[in-house]
C-alpha cells in the first residue's frame, strides 16, 4: 500500500524532463520532492497524477494508475495544483464542495465546513472565491483537496495528498499551518507527497526527501541522510552548508553561508 | 454576495419589460383596426394585384393588403399584413378574408399551407414582365373576383394603352439612350440592374437600352464596369429627401463622375411602383420614362 | 487555532435557491404557454373556446386551425428553440470557462448559415426529385447538416491522441467562420432579388414557419441533446477548476467535452435550422441565472432550459402582436429586449459580470 513511481520518463519535445526516476512514498509519512528550478519536481508529480504522458509505471496502493478510472483515482488521492484558477463566481464553500462531487465524501455534508475550518477560513465560506488574496485562495484549494480525501484511511487503504508547492504564496504562519495539516494527515495513516521549494520547511516536516537535479534522482532518504552539504551543493549548483545546532537536532540551511 | 436582490430585479425587469411592451402594443394594435366593411372579404398581396383590384372597381371589397400595396393611396388605410414574402399565418387569418389574391412569391410556404388549411380560398397570380403578362394578371384577378366582363374591358384598355405607349416610344437603335438603373448607392457601392429585371423590361419598352447586359438581376457593380457601361442617363426610384443634394452626391461618385450621364447631370427619378410594378399603370410608366429620357411627350 | 471553532458562519445555500427557482420557472413556463395560446392576431382565445365548448357548440375550422396548426406548433417550437439555445449557451460557457462563449464558438452558426444560404440560392439546381422529397424543408435540413458538419469538422481538427484542445477549436472556429462567410458572400452575390429577401428574413429568425412537421423533426433531437447536456453539471463544475484539476477530482474530461460539443451542435443546429438566427438567448439567460443563483451547473443547466423557453415564448408573443396583422422577426425582439437588460446588468454589477 504505497505510492510507487518506477522508471518514469517524460519528454517535452526533444528535451527529456525526467530520465528514469523512481520514487516510493509510504503511508504515514510526508515525502518531499526538492530540487532546483527545472529539475523535474512538478513533472514527476504530474506523471504520478496521470496528467502528463510518460513511460514507466505508477502504482497507487498496488494498482497501476493507467488502468484506473478518473473517479477511482479521485477516491484515493487528491491533488493540490500550484496555481489556484477558477472560472465563474463560485463561493468559497461551493469551491470546497467541488472536491466532494467526485463521489468521495459526498454523503457527509459537514465535511466541507470542517475542511474550511481546518485551514482557518470557515468565516469566509460565503465569500466569492475571486475576492480572496492569493494566499487565501491557495488555502481554500487545500481545503477542497482535504475534503476530497477527508479520512486519511478508508476501507483499510491509505489515501493520498499530492501537493505541488503548497506553501508558495503563504506567509510564514500559514506555511507552518499548512505543513502541520500535511503532517497530521500522514500521522493519521494517510500519505503525503509534496513538491517543496523551501529546504528548511522540508527539513522540519518531511519524513523522506527525494532530491532531483536535471531530470534525475540525486538522493532519497531521511532529511538527515539527504540534506547534506555535498548533495545540496551538487543539486543546486552552489556551495551550501547544512547546519545542525544541537538543541533541535534537525538540520537547517543557512543561505548566509552560501558561496557560488 | 449581495447581488441577489438586484439580479432578481433584473430578471423581473426583463420579464416585465416584455410583458409591458406586449400589453401596450397589443392594445394599440387593436385600436388601429379599421371598422369592418360588410362587403370586404379580400386580402390582396402584391402591388400589381392590388392595383388591378382597384382598377376593376372592386376596391371596396378589399379587407387588407400587404406592405408593398400602396397604390391607389386609399388602400393605405387598410390593415397591413406585412411583407409578402414573410407573412404570418395568424396575422393573415385575423383579418378574416374569404379570398386571398397574391402575387408570385408570397410566402413563406409553411404559412400558405396553414392558410389553405383554414378553408380560405387562395389565388396566386403569376408574374411576367410583358404586356401579355399584365393582361394575364388582370384575367386571373377578374375571374377570382367574379367580374370577368370588367376584366375583359380593363385588359382591352390596358392592352391598347401599352401598344400605343410602346409604339410611341419606338425609335431607331442609334438614337436610343443608354440607361443605367441604380437600385441603391448605399455606402458608395452601386447596386444596378442587369438583364431579366422589371427595370430592364421597362427601359426597353420606353425606348432605351439597358447600359448593363453582362449579368442578370440586381448586383453590386464595380466602378470600372459602370465606366464601361457609359450610361447616358441614370434611372432611380423616387424617394423622399432632397433630390438636388442627392444628385450632387450621385454625380460626385467616382464611378458615375466620368459617365456621359454625369456630364449632362441626367438623372431620372420615378415612382417605384409605377416603374417596376407591371400592373395596369405600366403604360403610364412607359410614357413618363420615355418623356423623361427624350424630353418630349412623344 | 482559533479558526477551528469559528464555524458559526453557516454556509449560505445558493443551491436551495436554485432548486426553488426550478419550480418558479416551471410555473412561469406554464403561464406564458397559456398566454401564448390565448393571444394572437385573431380573436380566437382559450376563454372563448372554453365558453363555446361549455355551450356545446362545435369549434369552427378557424378555431381549430389557429389553435392547432398555428399557435400550438409555435408554442412548442418557441419553447424548444429557447431551451436549446439557452442550455447550449450555458454548456459552452462551462466548457470554455468563459461567460461570453456561445454556441457560435463551435461553428454551429457559421455552418448552419452556410447550409441555409446554399439551400436558398442553389436549391433550385438540385435534381427535381430531391426538391420534391425535401419540399419546404430543404433550407432547415441544409442548415442542420451545415451546423452539425462544421462542428464535427472543428472537433476533428482540435482532437489529437484522444485529447480535444478547446483553444485549437476556438481558433479553427474563427478560420471556419471566415471561410463560411466568404463562401456565403459569393452565394449572396449570385443570388437573385427574391433569394436575397429570403436570406435576410432567414437571418433575422422567426417562428412564423412553425409547423408540426418541424416540431416533430427537430423536437426529439433537441430534447435528446438537452437531456444529454443536463447530465454534464458535475463535470462542468469541475472544469471551472481547469482541465487537470477537473480530472483530479474524478471528471472524465474528454468524455465531458465530447458530449458537450455534440449535444450543443445537435441542439443549436436543430434550433437554428427551424427558426433561423435568434441571438442573445444563449448568453443572457445563463448569465442572469448565474447572478441570481450562482454558477453551479447542476442547477444552472435546467434553469437555463426553463428560462430560455420562457423568454423565447414571450418574445414570440410580442413579435406576433406588436404590429399585427403583420409580425416582427423574433430575432429583433430578443435583441431589442435582451440587449438593454444585458447592458444594464453590466453597468450596475460589472464586478460580478466580469467573472
At C204 the pLDDT is 72
Chain A residue numbers with beta carbons less than 8 Å from the beta carbon of B1 are 89, 91, 126, 128
Residue B80 lies in a domain: yes
C-alpha C275/C-alpha C30 separation (Å) is 22
Interface of A with B in 127-156 (CB under 8 A): 128
**What residue spans define the domains of chain C?**
73-353
pLDDT per residue as tens digits for the range A55-105: 999 999 999 999 999 989 999 999 999 887 898 999 999 999 987 754 555
pLDDT per residue as tens digits for the range B121-144: 899 999 889 999 999 999 999 999
Residue B5 lies in a domain: no
Mind telling me how many Å the CA of C320 is from chain B's nearest CA? 8
Residue B154 lies in a domain: no
Chain C residue numbers with beta carbons less than 8 Å from the beta carbon of B111 are 208-209
Asked if the C-beta of B1 comes within 8 angstroms of chain A's C-beta atoms, the answer is yes
At B40 the pLDDT is 66
- From B22, B89, B197, residue closest to C70, measured CB to CB: B89
Answer for the pair A84, A143: CB distance below 8 angstroms, yes or no: no
Asked if the C-beta of C240 comes within 8 angstroms of chain A's C-beta atoms, the answer is yes
| Structure confidence at residue B296 as a pLDDT band (50, 70, 90) | low
Which of B107, B129, B147 lies at the terminal end of a domain, its last residue? B147
C69's CB contacts (< 8 A; 6+ apart) are: B89, B114, B117, B118, C211, C212
| Residue A209 grid cell | 526527501
Interface of B with C in 67-96 (CB under 8 A): 67, 79-83, 85-96
Interface of A with C in 32-51 (CB under 8 A): 49-51
In this complex, do A70 and C250 lie within 8 Å of one another by their Cβ atoms? yes
DSSP C67: I
A227 burial (CB, 10 Å; 0-12 / 13-18 / 19+) is: buried
For residue A216, pLDDT beyond 70 = yes
Chain C residue numbers with beta carbons less than 8 Å from the beta carbon of B83 are 197, 201, 326
Q: Judging by DSSP bridges, how do beta strands A15-25 and A3-12 pair with one another?
A: antiparallel
Asked if the C-beta of C345 comes within 8 angstroms of chain A's C-beta atoms, the answer is no
- From C14, C249, C290, residue closest to A102, measured CB to CB: C249
For residue B59, pLDDT beyond 80 = yes
Q: Which chains touch B (3 or more CB pairs under 8 A)?
A: A, C
Residue B11 lies in a domain: no
B74 burial (CB, 10 Å; 0-12 / 13-18 / 19+) is: exposed
At A81 the pLDDT is 93
Q: Where are the alpha helices (DSSP H) in A132-171?
A: 134-148
Domain limits at B60? 42-147
Size of interface B-C (CB pairs under 8 A): 165
C-alpha B16/C-alpha B24 separation (Å) is 12
**How many Å is the maximal CA-CA distance in chain A?**
55
Answer for the pair A217, A23: CB distance below 8 angstroms, yes or no: yes
In this complex, do B85 and C194 lie within 8 Å of one another by their Cβ atoms? yes
At B19 the pLDDT is 53
Q: Are residues B177 and B248 in the same domain?
A: yes
Q: Are residues B101 and B202 in the same domain?
A: no
C-alpha B293/C-alpha B280 separation (Å) is 22
In this complex, do B110 and C136 lie within 8 Å of one another by their Cβ atoms? yes
Among chain C residues, the shortest Cα distance to B79 is held by C325
CATH code of B234's domain: 3.40.50.1980
Chain C residue numbers with beta carbons less than 8 Å from the beta carbon of B197 are 193
Residue B155 lies in a domain: no
Ramachandran category for residue B289: left, alpha or beta (phi over 0 → left; psi -120 to 50 → alpha):
alpha
Residue B204 lies in a domain: yes
Per-residue pLDDT of chain C (355 residues; tens, 9 = 90+): 334 333 444 556 788 889 999 999 999 999 999 999 998 888 888 888 888 888 888 888 888 888 888 899 999 999 999 999 999 999 999 998 888 887 777 778 888 888 888 888 888 787 777 777 766 678 888 888 998 889 888 888 888 877 888 888 888 888 888 888 899 888 887 887 778 777 877 777 778 778 888 898 889 999 999 999 999 999 999 999 999 999 999 999 999 999 999 999 999 988 988 888 787 888 889 988 998 889 999 999 999 999 999 999 999 999 888 887 888 888 888 888 888 877 887 777 655 545 4
Q: Are residues B109 and B204 in the same domain?
A: no
Q: Judging by DSSP bridges, how do beta strands B267-270 and B190-193 pair with one another?
A: unpaired
Helix (H) or strand (E) holding C9, with range, is none
Answer for the pair B220, B189: CB distance below 8 angstroms, yes or no: yes
C-alpha C14/C-alpha B2 separation (Å) is 12
For residue A16, pLDDT beyond 80 = yes
pLDDT cut 90: percent of chain B above it: 53
At B64 the pLDDT is 94
A235 burial (CB, 10 Å; 0-12 / 13-18 / 19+) is: buried
The predicted model scores a pTM of 0.83
Chain B residue numbers with beta carbons less than 8 Å from the beta carbon of C136 are 108-110, 113
Residue B25 lies in a domain: no
Q: Are residues B128 and B183 in the same domain?
A: no
Interface of B with C in 98-127 (CB under 8 A): 105, 108-111, 113-114, 117-119
Q: Which of C8, C244, C249, C301 to mutate to test the interface with A (most CBs of A within 10 A)?
A: C249
How many structural domains comprise chain B? 2
Chain C residue numbers with beta carbons less than 8 Å from the beta carbon of A88 are 94, 97, 99, 240, 290, 295, 355
C-alpha A136/C-alpha A80 separation (Å) is 14
C-alpha A139/C-alpha A167 separation (Å) is 9
Q: Give the residue-averaged pLDDT of B196-225.
A: 90
Question: Which domains does chain A carry?
Answer: 3-222 (3.40.50.300)
B248 burial (CB, 10 Å; 0-12 / 13-18 / 19+) is: exposed
Question: Which one of A140-144, B95-99, C281-285 scores highest in mean pLDDT?
Answer: A140-144
Q: Are residues B61 and B136 in the same domain?
A: yes
pLDDT per residue as tens digits for the range B142-158: 999 999 999 999 999 99
Answer for the pair A152, A185: CB distance below 8 angstroms, yes or no: yes
For residue B268, pLDDT beyond 60 = yes
At C3 the pLDDT is 41
Q: Judging by DSSP bridges, how do beta strands B178-184 and B233-237 pair with one another?
A: parallel
For residue A191, pLDDT beyond 80 = yes
Answer for the pair C270, C144: CB distance below 8 angstroms, yes or no: yes
Residue B220 lies in a domain: yes
pLDDT per residue as tens digits for the range B29-58: 444 444 444 566 899 999 999 999 999 999
- From B4, B85, B94, residue closest to C292, measured CB to CB: B4
Q: Which residue has the cell 518531499?
A: A32
| Structure confidence at residue A245 as a pLDDT band (50, 70, 90) | low
Mind telling me how many Å the CA of A175 is from chain C's nearest CA? 14
Chain center to CA of B248: 26
Q: Judging by DSSP bridges, how do beta strands A157-158 and A153-154 pair with one another?
A: antiparallel
Chain B residue numbers with beta carbons less than 8 Å from the beta carbon of A93 are none
Q: For chain B, give the mean pLDDT.
A: 84
At C101 the pLDDT is 81
Answer for the pair B269, B298: CB distance below 8 angstroms, yes or no: no
Query: Number of helices (H) and strands (E), helices first, in chain B?
Result: 13, 10
Q: Are residues B187 and B270 in the same domain?
A: yes
Looking at the domain that runs over C73-353, which CATH code has it been given?
1.10.3470.10
DSSP C225-251: HHHHHHTTHHHHHHHTT-HHHHHHTT-
Q: Are residues B136 and B192 in the same domain?
A: no
Beta bridge partners of B44: B65, B101
Amino acid at each position: 500500500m504505497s505510492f510507487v513511481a518506477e522508471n518514469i520518463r517524460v519528454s517535452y519535445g526533444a528535451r527529456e524532463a525526467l530520465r528514469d526516476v523512481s520514487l516510493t512514498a509510504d503511508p504515514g509519512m510526508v515525502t518531499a520532492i526538492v530540487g532546483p528550478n527545472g529539475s523535474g519536481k512538478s513533472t514527476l508529480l504530474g506523471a504520478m497524477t496521470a496528467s502528463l504522458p510518460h513511460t514507466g509505471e505508477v502504482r497507487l496502493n498496488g494498482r497501476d494508475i493507467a488502468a484506473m478510472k478518473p473517479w477511482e483515482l479521485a477516491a484515493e488521492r487528491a491533488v493540490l495544483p500550484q496555481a489556484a484558477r477558477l472560472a465563474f463566481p463560485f463561493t468559497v464553500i461551493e469551491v470546497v464542495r467541488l472536491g466532494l462531487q467526485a463521489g468521495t465524501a459526498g454523503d457527509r455534508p459537514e465535511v466541507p465546513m470542517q475542511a474550511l475550518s481546518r485551514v482557518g477560513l470557515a468565516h469566509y465560506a460565503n465569500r466569492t472565491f475571486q475576492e480572496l488574496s492569493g494566499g487565501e485562495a491557495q488555502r481554500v484549494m487545500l481545503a477542497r483537496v482535504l475534503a476530497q480525501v477527508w479520512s486519511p484511511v478508508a476501507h483499510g487503504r491509505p489515501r493520498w495528498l499530492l501537493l505541488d508547492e503548497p506553501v508558495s504564496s503563504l506567509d510564514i504562519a500559514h506555511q507552518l499551518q499548512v505543513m502541520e495539516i500535511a503532517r497530521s494527515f500522514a500521522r493519521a495513516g494517510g500519505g503525503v507527497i509534496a513538491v517543496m521549494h523551501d529546504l528548511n520547511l522540508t527539513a522540519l516536516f518531511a519524513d523522506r526527501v527525494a532530491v532531483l537535479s536535471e531530470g534525475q534522482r540525486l538522493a532519497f532518504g531521511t532529511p538527515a541522510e539527504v540534506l547534506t552539504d555535498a548533495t545540496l551543493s551538487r543539486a543546486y549548483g552552489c556551495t551550501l552548508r547544512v547546519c545542525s545546532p544541537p538543541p533541535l537536532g534537525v538540520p537547517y540551511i543557512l543561505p548566509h553561508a552560501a558561496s557560488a | 454576495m449581495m447581488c441577489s436582490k438586484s439580479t432578481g430585479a433584473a430578471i423581473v425587469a426583463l420579464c416585465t419589460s416584455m410583458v409591458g411592451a406586449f400589453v401596450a402594443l397589443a392594445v394599440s394594435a387593436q385600436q388601429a383596426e379599421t371598422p369592418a366593411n360588410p362587403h370586404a372579404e379580400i386580402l390582396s398581396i402584391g402591388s400589381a394585384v392590388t392595383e388591378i383590384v382597384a382598377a376593376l372597381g372592386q376596391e371596396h371589397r378589399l379587407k387588407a393588403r400587404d406592405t408593398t400595396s400602396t397604390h391607389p393611396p386609399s388602400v393605405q388605410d387598410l390593415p397591413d399584413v406585412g411583407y409578402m414574402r414573410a407573412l404570418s399565418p395568424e396575422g393573415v387569418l385575423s383579418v378574416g378574408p374569404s379570398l386571398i389574391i397574391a402575387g408570385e412569391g408570397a410566402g413563406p410556404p409553411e404559412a400558405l399551407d396553414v392558410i389553405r388549411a383554414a378553408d380560405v380560398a387562395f389565388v396566386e397570380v403569376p408574374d411576367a414582365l410583358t404586356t401579355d403578362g399584365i393582361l394575364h394578371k388582370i384575367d386571373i384577378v377578374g375571374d377570382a373576383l367574379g367580374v370577368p366582363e370588367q376584366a375583359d374591358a380593363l385588359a382591352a384598355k390596358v392592352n391598347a394603352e401599352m401598344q400605343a405607349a410602346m409604339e410611341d416610344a419606338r425609335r431607331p437603335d442609334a438614337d436610343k439612350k443608354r440607361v443605367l438603373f441604380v437600385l441603391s448607392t448605399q455606402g458608395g457601392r452601386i447596386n444596378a440592374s442587369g438583364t431579366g429585371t422589371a427595370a430592364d423590361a421597362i427601359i426597353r419598352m420606353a425606348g432605351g437600352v439597358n447600359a448593363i447586359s453582362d449579368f442578370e438581376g440586381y448586383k453590386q457593380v464595380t466602378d470600372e464596369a459602370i465606366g464601361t457601361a457609359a450610361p447616358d442617363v441614370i434611372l432611380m426610384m423616387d424617394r423622399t429627401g432632397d433630390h438636388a443634394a442627392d444628385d450632387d452626391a450621385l454625380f460626385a461618385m467616382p464611378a458615375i463622375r466620368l459617365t456621359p450621364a454625369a456630364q449632362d447631370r441626367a438623372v431620372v427619378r420615378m415612382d417605384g411602383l409605377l416603374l417596376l410594378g407591371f400592373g395596369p399603370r405600366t403604360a403610364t410608366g412607359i410614357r413618363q420614362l420615355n418623356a423623361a429620357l427624350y424630353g418630349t411627350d412623344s | 487555532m482559533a479558526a477551528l471553532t469559528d464555524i458559526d458562519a453557516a454556509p449560505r445555500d445558493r443551491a436551495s435557491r436554485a432548486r426553488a427557482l426550478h419550480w418558479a420557472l416551471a410555473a412561469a413556463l406554464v403561464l406564458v404557454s397559456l398566454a401564448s395560446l390565448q393571444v394572437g392576431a385573431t380573436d380566437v382565445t382559450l376563454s372563448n373556446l372554453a365558453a363555446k365548448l361549455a355551450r356545446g357548440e362545435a369549434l369552427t375550422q378557424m378555431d381549430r386551425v389557429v389553435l392547432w396548426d398555428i399557435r400550438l406548433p409555435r408554442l412548442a417550437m418557441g419553447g424548444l428553440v429557447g431551451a436549446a439555445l439557452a442550455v447550449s449557451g450555458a454548456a459552452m460557457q462551462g466548457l470554455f470557462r468563459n461567460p461570453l462563449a456561445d454556441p457560435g464558438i463551435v461553428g454551429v452558426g457559421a455552418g448552419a448559415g452556410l447550409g441555409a444560404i446554399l439551400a436558398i440560392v442553389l436549391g433550385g439546381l438540385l435534381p427535381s426529385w430531391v426538391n420534391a422529397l425535401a419540399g419546404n424543408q430543404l433550407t432547415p435540413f441544409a442548415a442542420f447538416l451545415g451546423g452539425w458538419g462544421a462542428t464535427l469538422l472543428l472537433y476533428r481538427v482540435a482532437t489529437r491522441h484522444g485529447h480535444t484542445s478547446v483553444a485549437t477549436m476556438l481558433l479553427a472556429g474563427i478560420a471556419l467562420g471566415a471561410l463560411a462567410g466568404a463562401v456565403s458572400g459569393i452565394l449572396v452575390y449570385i443570388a437573385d432579388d427574391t433569394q436575397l429577401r429570403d436570406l435576410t428574413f432567414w437571418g433575422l429568425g422567426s417562428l412564423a414557419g412553425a409547423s408540426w412537421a418541424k416540431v416533430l423533426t427537430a423536437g426529439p433531437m433537441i430534447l435528446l441533446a438537452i437531456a444529454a447536456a443536463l447530465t454534464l453539471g458535475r463535470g462542468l463544475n469541475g472544469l471551472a477548476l481547469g482541465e487537470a484539476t477537473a480530472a483530479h477530482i474524478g471528471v472524465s474530461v474528454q468524455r465531458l467535452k465530447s458530449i458537450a460539443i455534440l449535444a450543443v451542435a445537435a441542439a443549436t443546429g436543430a434550433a437554428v435550422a427551424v427558426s433561423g438566427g435568434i441571438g442573445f438567448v444563449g448568453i443572457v439567460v445563463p448569465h442572469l441565472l448565474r447572478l441570481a443563483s450562482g454558477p453551479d451547473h447542476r442547477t444552472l443547466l435546467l434553469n437555463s432550459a426553463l428560462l430560455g423557453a420562457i423568454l423565447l415564448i414571450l418574445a414570440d408573443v410580442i413579435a406576433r402582436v406588436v404590429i399585427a396583422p403583420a409580425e416582427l422577426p423574433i430575432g429583433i425582439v430578443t435583441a431589442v429586449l435582451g440587449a438593454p437588460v444585458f447592458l444594464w446588468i453590466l453597468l450596475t454589477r460589472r464586478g460580478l459580470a466580469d467573472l
